[in-house]
Chain A
């Protein structure tokens, strides 16, 4: 196994630059999630690691080896695609064995590896079936099996869960986690889903428009967003950003609590209430009339009504951002 380092990696299509220099050192065995909205370059970055996209500038090393000019097959990686990309005419067994056969591995060795992977993924009874005879979750597991049998240095996942329904996604998320614990292989996982990112990542890269906005452990990113983009992207509903004294005040919805009008830090003009059971989301305009939308997560016992709602927050939970650069202001 090996770590991965990205050194000022850039990508351009003609004159358009889409990745503006990403640098990161990924430790051996780490689970890294690349998170961002569509079109932020997260898949491109992963595909550059895989060798499916040419690296315009910068360097990618897997282990000690710079892989910029290596074919995907020589990089010792395995990739799981969003639509699984299983060979439709091959059985599950052959799908997993194909890459090994090409490498000229002996039949016995291939069989041993496929059986082992099938056992880990509980696919033994499906080995003879074609992909079209499997459900979405089973196909997903076959795609992972195809990656596992190669015993690569690095796993690359390109939004592998986004084609599954919500329930299955939660289940597969768990399976991915336990798989990673078990195999301990360095993994890069691309997603636009912040819940996947928060639950799976040891560290995550939040990307926006081809730049890494923040790299850090999920809770650290949540607790200390480096930019207004990260603050607005992570958390549901996202962090409230309220202009105050020429700066932007950031406060998470769950850090707002109802209080008496005398103690109010802000007074909300509530116009939308979403009871979720465990808690209730209220949305409204910020009372001062400058139009900033504010969301608050209140305990379900609070009787929320449309109209004026006085709220307060603990100053320790407040974040400050520079309105021009969007960067966090410490202190």
Chain B
């Protein structure tokens, strides 16, 4: 692929540019729409340069919310989304790292059975068990609560599996050296395993944060009060029906706002994220 073939170069750039356009153009349109007054969006064709309503629109969604459909301010939704994404990401990591520690470093009866039980649940996404889960959460009175939003999503076979794979690559001698040094299991976990897992934790955090942020079906089911809407749900609730009835400028502004936190997490943690996926520091 180091040959100098101008036509091929041109061709590949065209393909790449088309790809970028396909991804970036809708984002751009969303941004432009969020800066226009509603009448201009409804005009045909819609202008493709940003308008002057940017601050007005964002100010309205952040503080007051829409006037039709959902009336919750987007700042509340963003807060709810953040709580949910953080609780899911941190909860998943905390539980699965302890579970994998037990599975890898302790010998107990039916150890493999339990591992496979966890592993098998990989095949059961939230959607499959959503009705019984809803029933449980509802009976526990956790509808419209943060606990209801997060707890059912916290158990994670994927994260447990990933940590298990990582722990298996940590040389046994490290555990033995710690034992000779006099470190008990928890001390070893805290002083050796946890610091070694830093990059894996960071990578999982990014993945799980986005997973939590993008949850749609579950929050849709269990939140009925506007004060508990997440950003993703908020957007869908703002769509009330016919094309003309929607406040597109506010919906687009909300969409842009909902997009920022996960993008920010990815950008800020990118270095760690990549390290966690490729690095083997042992």
A residues 86-145 in Cβ contact with B at 8 Å: 86-89, 98-99, 102-103, 132
User: Does A280 lie at the interface of the complex (its beta carbon under 8 Å from any beta carbon of B)?
Assistant: no
User: Does A25 lie at the interface of the complex (its beta carbon under 8 Å from any beta carbon of B)?
Assistant: no
Instruction: Give the CA-CA distance A87 to B196 in the complex, in Å.
Output: 9
Instruction: Give the CA-CA distance A4 to B191 in the complex, in Å.
Output: 32
Instruction: Give the CA-CA distance A132 to B280 in the complex, in Å.
Output: 12
Task: Report if A99-B176 is in contact (Cβ < 8 Å); known contacts: A83-B171, A89-B196, A132-B281.
Answer: no
Is B181's CB under 8 angstroms from A81's CB? no
User: Does A79 lie at the interface of the complex (its beta carbon under 8 Å from any beta carbon of B)?
Assistant: yes
Is A77's CB under 8 angstroms from B182's CB? no
- Residue ID in chain A nearest B194 by CB atoms: A89
Is B182's CB under 8 angstroms from A89's CB? no
Contact with A along B180-198 (1 / 0, CB 8 A): 1111000100011001101
Instruction: Give the CA-CA distance A51 to B198 in the complex, in Å.
Output: 30
User: Does A85 lie at the interface of the complex (its beta carbon under 8 Å from any beta carbon of B)?
Assistant: yes
The smallest beta-carbon distance between A140 and chain B, in angstroms, is: 14
Residue in contact with B179 in the complex, picked from A73, A82, A89, CB distance below 8 Å: A73
B195: chain A residues within 8 A (beta carbon): 89
User: Does B268 lie at the interface of the complex (its beta carbon under 8 Å from any beta carbon of A)?
Assistant: no
The smallest beta-carbon distance between B25 and chain A, in angstroms, is: 45
The smallest beta-carbon distance between A64 and chain B, in angstroms, is: 21
Residue in contact with B181 in the complex, picked from A52, A83, A102, CB distance below 8 Å: A102
Is A50's CB under 8 angstroms from B183's CB? no
User: Does B174 lie at the interface of the complex (its beta carbon under 8 Å from any beta carbon of A)?
Assistant: yes
User: Does B282 lie at the interface of the complex (its beta carbon under 8 Å from any beta carbon of A)?
Assistant: yes
User: Does A78 lie at the interface of the complex (its beta carbon under 8 Å from any beta carbon of B)?
Assistant: yes
Task: Report if A81-B173 is in contact (Cβ < 8 Å); known contacts: A98-B181, A99-B182, A102-B182.
Answer: yes
User: Does B177 lie at the interface of the complex (its beta carbon under 8 Å from any beta carbon of A)?
Assistant: yes
User: Does A263 lie at the interface of the complex (its beta carbon under 8 Å from any beta carbon of B)?
Assistant: no
Instruction: Give the CA-CA distance A99 to B178 in the complex, in Å.
Output: 8
The smallest beta-carbon distance between B197 and chain A, in angstroms, is: 10
- Residue ID in chain A nearest B174 by CB atoms: A85
Is B281's CB under 8 angstroms from A78's CB? no
The smallest beta-carbon distance between A119 and chain B, in angstroms, is: 21
Is A79's CB under 8 angstroms from B180's CB? yes
Task: Report if A73-B180 is in contact (Cβ < 8 Å); known contacts: A81-B173, A85-B171, A85-B174.
Answer: yes
Is A87's CB under 8 angstroms from B180's CB? no
Is A85's CB under 8 angstroms from B182's CB? no
Is A79's CB under 8 angstroms from B177's CB? yes
B171: chain A residues within 8 A (beta carbon): 83, 85
A86: chain B residues within 8 A (beta carbon): 177
Task: Report if A85-B173 is in contact (Cβ < 8 Å); known contacts: A98-B191, A102-B187, A132-B281.
Answer: yes
Task: Report if A81-B196 is in contact (Cβ < 8 Å); known contacts: A88-B282, A102-B183, A132-B281.
Answer: no
Residue in contact with A77 in the complex, picked from B173, B180, B191, B281, CB distance below 8 Å: B180
B residues 231-282 in Cβ contact with A at 8 Å: 281-282
Contact with B along A256-273 (1 / 0, CB 8 A): 000000000000000000
B178: chain A residues within 8 A (beta carbon): 87
The smallest beta-carbon distance between B182 and chain A, in angstroms, is: 3
Instruction: Give the CA-CA distance A50 to B173 in the complex, in Å.
Output: 13
- Across the A-B interface, give the 5 residue pairs with the lowest CB-CB distance, nearest first: A73-B182, A99-B181, A85-B173, A85-B177, A89-B195
Task: Report which A residues bind B (CB closer than 8 A).
Answer: 50-52, 71-73, 77-79, 81-89, 98-99, 102-103, 132, 146
User: Can you list 23 A-B contacts (CB < 8 A)?
Assistant: A50-B176, A52-B176, A52-B179, A72-B176, A73-B179, A79-B176, A79-B180, A81-B173, A81-B177, A82-B173, A83-B173, A85-B174, A87-B177, A89-B192, A89-B198, A99-B180, A99-B182, A102-B181, A102-B183, A102-B187, A132-B281, A146-B177, A146-B181
